[in-house]
Structure 1
Amino acid sequence: MDQAADDWAPHSAHWGAFSARWNGETLDVTPYEGDPAPSPILQNFTTAMRHKARILRPMVRKAWLDRSARTERTFDQEFVECSWDRVLDLLASELSRVKAEHGAAAVFGGSYGWSSAGRFHHAQSQVHRFLNMAFGGYVRSVNSYSAGASAVILPHVMGGYEAVSRHNVTWDQIAEHSDVVLAFGGMALKNSHVASGGISRHIERDAMATAARRGAAFYCISPLRDDMPADANARWLPIKVGTDVALMLALAHTLLTEDLCDKAFIERYCTGFENFERYLRGRDDGTPKDAAWAADITGISSGTIIDLARRLPRGRTLIAVSHSLQRAQYGEQPVWMGAVLAAMLGQIGLPGGGYNYALGALGHTGRRINAVPIPTLSQGKNGVSEFIPVARVSDMLLNPGEPFEYNGRSMHYPDIKLVYWAGGNPFHHHQDINRMRQAFNAPQTIVVHESAWTPMAKFADIVLPATMTLERDDIGAAGTDPRLVAMRRAVDPIGEARDDFDIFAGLARKLGVEQAFTEGRDSRQWLAHLYEPTRKALVEAGWDAPDFDEFWRRGELALPSAPDDGGFLRAFRNDPAANRLSTPSGKIEIYSKAIASFGYDDCPPHPAWLPSTEPPSARHPLTLIANQPATRLHSQLDFGAYSQSSKVAGREVVRLHPDDAKRRGVANGDIVRLFNDRGACLAAAAVTDDVMPGVIQLSTGAWYDPERGATEQPLCVHGNPNVLTRDIGTSRLAQGCCGQVTVVECEKYEGALPSIRAFDPPGQR
């Protein structure tokens, strides 16, 4: 299935379908012709394939190879080239030793799932399948950095996560039916550019523009003006960071006291409102959660709050809450309170109304789901029961055997001796990098499959060069995208890079379990095998269902979508007795007896206002928003052309308000130092009133680049905000990620700028 050098190869990425052609030096990229708003992130591929950051051959950290003395891992240490045969022997021996001495529960399979849109060469599935088939299992992580709190709280409140986030209100419904869209955290198009498994049509911008032309009113409730696209013609309500729950409570209080809430809906579809009403009215604490109370907290006037509350019941209103709100301390609360506010309006389950969590946070949300299954690689059965919430990896490595609480369970952190990571960069995802560096020095061995010298690869002991997506064949598919894409190889693999599957197959052979892992199939046979369930479902549905060879020749295949029927919440509304939610009561739980039984003081049994334990102070007066970048997916291809085009002096850009810049003597383009007690980084200043006063915004994803020679808290010279963020759980309920916000100070950087070495290979011999 090799691709001729002068042919355009159809392909897919998490940020869009496209065609590519290798011109001998760079990659030519053309977006899918049916995409009305293709993502510019595709242009990162053009210069990435042969970049100096690519890993060319297997490498082993010299200090690990010598094993003469325990040496802490650093980013400056020397690596030694190895042949594939030798490195697989080394790795097979180490895996066998760890299993014999400590068991499978001493291995953490830490891959995160965004490395490729391909359904077969999906690094997370490959590493988990290998560890299950060849090793008997591994310690896993649950939930995600993006939705760590919401994935736990929503099942308690509404019976499920997917039903509220993906199988609910669609963009077509918004364009046709919504009168008011109240977007807490906004709906930034940079976020909906991305969908796991690929996306052939970006529809969000046009849907908002259509609704706005019809007269729908969008409200962007965010510290950042551009968290809503200009096409929505939104009213910006700048709100103090982390105070959305207070605003929601005040809106709810006005609805209640002015008799604007839908009492019949609450009575029929909800439980526990009487407990919440006591809190809302302040009957126990003496503090009514009214508009005057919220104005002091949020920075939004009481008159604005009351006027907004009165408008909500007048038409079809949608309450939307973004991922960003719950990526902070007590992140469960805005997700829960958003559902309660929508319940009080009584429109849950109506087209274009009610409640939708994370609408616009990803390209998956707001779309009809496919009526047929997409190709999926089985990961097998995990023989290890231990797990951690994904954002607690540093806690696990630093505190083996120590107790922690999660969702009503008392658990203990496992004792990890070996970390096996394929496709992912925790030095992007995780918080408090200086603490994480200590944590990743605890395991005896770290193994990484990577296509480039990410910070995680530089911190590993055994580094195996993996192909990039355009160097292999695969199938691109997402459960909410009506197109299957034949992802044809566009360029030969660089150096000695191998597909993850081939690496694991070779390693399984060394361990004597090759048949269990490969099932006797090579990559092409696996692609045909994974395609077959989709083909059979298409046949049963009466749709075009070519055999695999014909699909591959065509390059794409249309998939049918399920009806836009509002999903389970619409069915629940129509007949709650027959379509009970999977909550204990079968209803929307405004008060949760289950959560009450856990006794968590950081997650009460109904939504509540809990102020952050790290507010701005005289030492750190600015609130930093560390949100997702516009020029890449997470940290992927930060060395790509489009990502590099947004940097200034090679560094990530931080935005601040003119008043804050003037107070610090900072002008556009100046290099500034951001710092707090956890660390510091450099970034290039952009002065703009799109950021409200007191707020500073630095996107995540700049590859961590510690200044050489420093020890305890090295300065990141490239602009990674996770040297500043707190590594704490959202609460004992979800233990989610709190990486969205922190507090900092900012000053103009004086002196010679340190050189950027983020994309340089480490020392080699």
Structure 2
Amino acid sequence: MERRVPVATHWGSFVAVVDSGRLLRLEPRGDDPAPSPIGPGMVAAAEDAARVRHPAVRKGWLDGLPRGREGARGSDAFVEVSWDDALSMVSEELRRVRGQYGDSAVFGGSYGWASAGVFHNAQSQLQRFLALGGGYTDSRNTYSTAALEVILPHVIGGAPWSYQSRMPLWHEIAESCEFVVAFGGLALKNSQINPGGLARHRTRELQQRCRDAGVRFVNVSPIRSDTADFLDAQWVPVVPNTDTALMLAIAHTMLVNGWYDADFLARCCEGFDRFTSYLTGDGDGVVKDARWAAAITGVERDTIIDLSRRLFAQRSLVMVNYAIQRADHGEQPVWMSVVLAAMAGSLGRPGCGWGAGYATMDATGVAPGRRSVVSVPRVENPVTDFIPVARIADTLLEPGSTIDYDGQRLTLPHLRLIYWCGGNPFHHHQDLHRLTRAWQRPETVVVHEAWWNTTAKFADIVLPAATSLERDDFAAGFCDPHLVAMPKVREPVGEARTDHQIFAALSARLGYAREFTQGRSESEWVRHLYERTRADLRDGAVLPDFDDFWHRTLGVELPLLSGPFPGSFEALRADPQRFPLGTPSGRIEIFSAEIDSFGYDDCAGHPMWFEPVEWLRAGLADRYPLHLISNQPASRLHSQYDNGGHSLKSKIHGREPVTINPQDASSRGIESGMIVRVFNDRGSCLAGAILSDAVMPGVLQLSTGAWWDPSRPGRSGTLDRHGNPNTLTGDRGCSRLSQGPSAHSALVDIEVYEGPAETVLAFTPPHLEH
């Protein structure tokens, strides 16, 4: 008999239809105005051939072969073992490595979105387990927004993510704004998701409300489809990685025409005079005017002047998306976007000013935030060592070397054991062949995984993990006021266990089970976290008790927070003496004396144009004349559910689609539907061609997240059969300030693939012995 169970996921809430323990389908909730098709695609992957069904150990590791053997990880067969043996191996390795090398030799790699749910948060579970055991080397910042996270506290103060509560909401934009310039666009495909889970999608309807209210949009991006058709946005194609030059020319045009808010700049900003000297070329002899920028950006001089005039003359909002800061000198466009908003005169006015990451997920701009939800108790990490998140390959290849980071000198630790849970480094990281070489260095790699993806295939010990459909939890999305029950839909596949069950068993072997579990079962933990959240509410807000909540299909709502929030630009504009920002000057730092004191040659004391290492005006473009944009996919979340039904339907001949402008395709004899080879000095991958003038000439668009499928795993330079763009991207930090990833600074070429047919094996498990 069919059973209907409410579920919450990263891409929305659904109703799971189950019969005799078998998942039949996921149906959108009736109150979701824009349900994502990714969710229903989970059904195809629920028990496919790629599921990790039993604990498994890499044969070479089990046989004690030297870890540095070329291609060992990624190419070996695996031996399936009992849970008792697997847990003994992991606990013994943790004891050995800590005893021989110290706690900092253990890396707690839990970077990634994992799955929705408050209790079964992979990062929280792993970090709690490792901290109780003595500590671990941690990572800092995110692949998504590392440059932004580091630069904004210097410029506007506050914590790295505090800007979220200081930006206009969509409904305020509709009410008060007239003109929006979106650097990097507003791709609706990205708003399918929310980190903690999601009740219903609202971004599409809120954007539509803005358009209906008469707000006009400009999409500054190499890709026209980075804004929805219904916005009727003006498309300004820009040479990738040149947004900063364009912004500087807009600022220069404002300056020389007197189109700027002199009062706000004088009262609320620091260092505008130092910055204007740079604009006018007093130091370097280069005037950053519209003619100068046109030659760099490909944007016509008249268009630059028009944007400058409209930003000042109308109630305006400068938006910057996350993609443009994942590039060489990615701090600069973020910093410069704040300066533009300050000059334009709308910063600190209702519905106007500045914001980042709109439409990146169905949270930003949707609601001001909700009351906090009680999460798994954090344990202080006794180890103080950390690495910037995107410097993992550097750390493995060059332990003991030093790097700059945000005014500090960091010594990279010698990592002997990697424990990865809830993420996929072979998706997030750049230059996967370099990562492959680095990945051979540790003595042991332990991974929790539900599927035999690339990270599992490159591990030594793989522990089968239950999915979000195979455990009890409740969802609390970022800025989403809804709490949604997540009852178990089905039993775990094979011998899969939840991360918590695995860590509880390991804690028992290591002698701290009581501290880790606090004597609670998983169901008791879920109830405890909900009831603690309920008890912590103030101001008369009431939630039902847990038993009532657990049976509510549509969930319950927490009260929303109300402003003004710390660091408010409105309060700053009204009285900068009374409401200073958390910067050294208490004002917006157009010039930062602190950053200037670091003496970095790639990030100065104010926003500047730095020529990228790889861009369409570089000498390397003679060999590789196309700029690769590896943006977020529409068919999955990062690499999650690449084996799901929706992602599989998007493939061309089983490979990731790559979009190319017809002009570039014609000169290479490429037609839609062909298998093509994309390549540079770092590697090559196969993809399926799509021709579209929505991508400007000179640009290729190949989304991230296809499970990496090298034809000779573990061997540098080998062909990727499936279409992962990080085969091609460079592993360089944005700058010495943030050390963030620079994935969007990559030059490539493309050709019709005429080699032998390469079968895609991304979703095929490795050879398994019993």
TM-score, normalised with respect to structure 1: 0.97
**Superposition deviation, residue 78 in structure 1:** 1.1
Counterpart-to-counterpart distance in 2, 1:347 and 1:359: 18
Which residue is 2:46 aligned to? 49
SS in 2 for 1:660: helix
Which residue is 1:140 aligned to? 138
Q: Answer yes or no: is the 8 Å Cα contact 2:16–2:23 preserved in 1.
A: no
- Equivalent position amino acid for 2:203 in 1: E
**Superposition deviation, residue 165 in structure 1:** 3.1
Deviates more, 1:478-487 or 1:367-376: 367-376
**CA offsets per residue over residues 308-352 of structure 1, 9 Å max, x none?**
211112221000000001000100000000000000012212221
Seen in structure 2, the aligned counterparts of structure 1 residues 35 and 565 have a Cα distance that, compared at 3 Å, is farther
Q: Answer yes or no: is the 8 Å Cα contact 2:198–2:475 preserved in 1.
A: no
Which residue is 1:602 aligned to? 602
Which residue is 2:482 aligned to? 483
Which residue is 2:660 aligned to? 656
SS in 1 for 2:399: coil
1:745 is aligned to 2:749: yes
SS in 1 for 2:686: strand
Q: Answer yes or no: is the 8 Å Cα contact 2:74–2:713 preserved in 1.
A: no
- Equivalent position amino acid for 1:390 in 2: V
Counterpart-to-counterpart distance in 2, 1:491 and 1:710: 36
SS in 1 for 2:2: coil
1:296-375 → structure 2 map (5 Å cutoff)? 296-375=295-374
- Equivalent position amino acid for 1:27 in 2: L
SS in 1 for 2:746: strand
Which residue is 2:172 aligned to? 173
Deviates more, 1:109-118 or 1:257-266: 109-118
SS in 2 for 1:7: strand
1:158 is aligned to 2:163: no
Counterpart-to-counterpart distance in 2, 1:654 and 1:395: 29
Counterpart-to-counterpart distance in 2, 1:386 and 1:712: 30
Counterpart-to-counterpart distance in 2, 1:391 and 1:520: 37
Deviates more, 1:32-41 or 1:509-518: 32-41
- Equivalent position amino acid for 1:697 in 2: Q
**Superposition deviation, residue 564 in structure 1:** 6.0
- Tell me which of 2, 5, 8 is aligned to 1:9: 5
Deviates more, 1:251-260 or 1:10-19: 10-19
Seen in structure 2, the aligned counterparts of structure 1 residues 358 and 69 have a Cα distance that, compared at 3 Å, is closer
**Superposition deviation, residue 40 in structure 1:** 1.5
**Superposition deviation, residue 139 in structure 1:** 0.3
Seen in structure 2, the aligned counterparts of structure 1 residues 456 and 166 have a Cα distance that, compared at 3 Å, is farther
Counterpart-to-counterpart distance in 1, 2:328 and 2:687: 25
- Equivalent position amino acid for 1:329 in 2: D
**Superposition deviation, residue 371 in structure 1:** 4.1
Counterpart-to-counterpart distance in 2, 1:200 and 1:320: 26
1:407 is aligned to 2:411: no
Q: Answer yes or no: is the 8 Å Cα contact 2:396–2:442 preserved in 1.
A: yes
Which residue is 1:107 aligned to? 106
Identity over aligned pairs, percent: 49
Q: Answer yes or no: is the 8 Å Cα contact 2:3–2:19 preserved in 1.
A: no
- Equivalent position amino acid for 2:417 in 1: L
Seen in structure 2, the aligned counterparts of structure 1 residues 305 and 670 have a Cα distance that, compared at 3 Å, is same
Counterpart-to-counterpart distance in 1, 2:684 and 2:432: 11
1:725 is aligned to 2:729: yes
Counterpart-to-counterpart distance in 2, 1:113 and 1:547: 32
Deviates more, 1:446-455 or 1:74-83: 74-83
**Superposition deviation, residue 43 in structure 1:** 2.0
**Superposition deviation, residue 543 in structure 1:** 2.8
Which residue is 2:198 aligned to? 199
Counterpart-to-counterpart distance in 1, 2:601 and 2:347: 29
1:234-633 → structure 2 map (5 Å cutoff)? 234-538=233-537, 540-555=538-553, 556-563=555-562, 565=564, 568-616=568-616, 617-633=621-637
Query: Paired residues, what number?
Result: 759
SS in 1 for 2:379: coil
**Superposition deviation, residue 710 in structure 1:** 8.3
Counterpart-to-counterpart distance in 1, 2:765 and 2:744: 30
Q: Answer yes or no: is the 8 Å Cα contact 1:169–1:566 preserved in 2.
A: no
- Equivalent position amino acid for 1:64 in 2: W
SS in 2 for 1:255: helix
**Superposition deviation, residue 368 in structure 1:** 2.2
- Tell me which of 750, 760, 766 is aligned to 1:762: 766
SS in 2 for 1:741: coil
Q: Answer yes or no: is the 8 Å Cα contact 1:374–1:478 preserved in 2.
A: no
Deviates more, 1:636-645 or 1:71-80: 71-80
Q: After the TM superposition, which parts of structure 1 deviate over 6 Å for at least 4 consecutive aligned residues?
A: none
Q: Answer yes or no: is the 8 Å Cα contact 1:405–1:733 preserved in 2.
A: yes
- Equivalent position amino acid for 1:752 in 2: P
Counterpart-to-counterpart distance in 2, 1:215 and 1:589: 33
SS in 1 for 2:3: coil
> Unaligned 5+ residue runs, structure 2?
none
Q: Answer yes or no: is the 8 Å Cα contact 2:436–2:716 preserved in 1.
A: no
- Equivalent position amino acid for 1:348 in 2: L
Q: Answer yes or no: is the 8 Å Cα contact 1:56–1:465 preserved in 2.
A: yes
**Superposition deviation, residue 367 in structure 1:** 2.6
Q: Answer yes or no: is the 8 Å Cα contact 2:370–2:479 preserved in 1.
A: no
- Equivalent position amino acid for 2:41 in 1: N
**Superposition deviation, residue 752 in structure 1:** 2.8
**Superposition deviation, residue 200 in structure 1:** 1.9
- Tell me which of 701, 706, 711 is aligned to 1:707: 711
**Superposition deviation, residue 288 in structure 1:** 1.1
SS in 2 for 1:410: strand
Deviates more, 1:508-517 or 1:8-17: 8-17
Seen in structure 2, the aligned counterparts of structure 1 residues 322 and 141 have a Cα distance that, compared at 3 Å, is same
SS in 1 for 2:622: coil
Q: Answer yes or no: is the 8 Å Cα contact 1:132–1:383 preserved in 2.
A: yes
**CA offsets per residue over residues 288-310 of structure 1, 9 Å max, x none?**
11111111111111011111211
**CA offsets per residue over residues 370-393 of structure 1, 9 Å max, x none?**
442113112311000000110000
**CA offsets per residue over residues 679-735 of structure 1, 9 Å max, x none?**
000000000000000000000000000113783311000000001000000000000
Which residue is 1:689 aligned to? 693
Seen in structure 2, the aligned counterparts of structure 1 residues 249 and 35 have a Cα distance that, compared at 3 Å, is same
Counterpart-to-counterpart distance in 1, 2:166 and 2:643: 36
Seen in structure 2, the aligned counterparts of structure 1 residues 306 and 703 have a Cα distance that, compared at 3 Å, is same
Deviates more, 1:429-438 or 1:305-314: 305-314
Deviates more, 1:261-270 or 1:30-39: 30-39
Counterpart-to-counterpart distance in 2, 1:752 and 1:710: 21
Counterpart-to-counterpart distance in 1, 2:481 and 2:4: 22
**CA offsets per residue over residues 167-224 of structure 1, 9 Å max, x none?**
4211111122210010000010111211110222322222222222222110000000
Which residue is 2:18 aligned to? 22
- Equivalent position amino acid for 1:574 in 2: A
Q: Answer yes or no: is the 8 Å Cα contact 1:351–1:566 preserved in 2.
A: no
1:40 is aligned to 2:37: yes
Counterpart-to-counterpart distance in 1, 2:327 and 2:65: 43
Q: Answer yes or no: is the 8 Å Cα contact 1:626–1:741 preserved in 2.
A: no
**Superposition deviation, residue 30 in structure 1:** 1.6
Which residue is 1:639 aligned to? 643
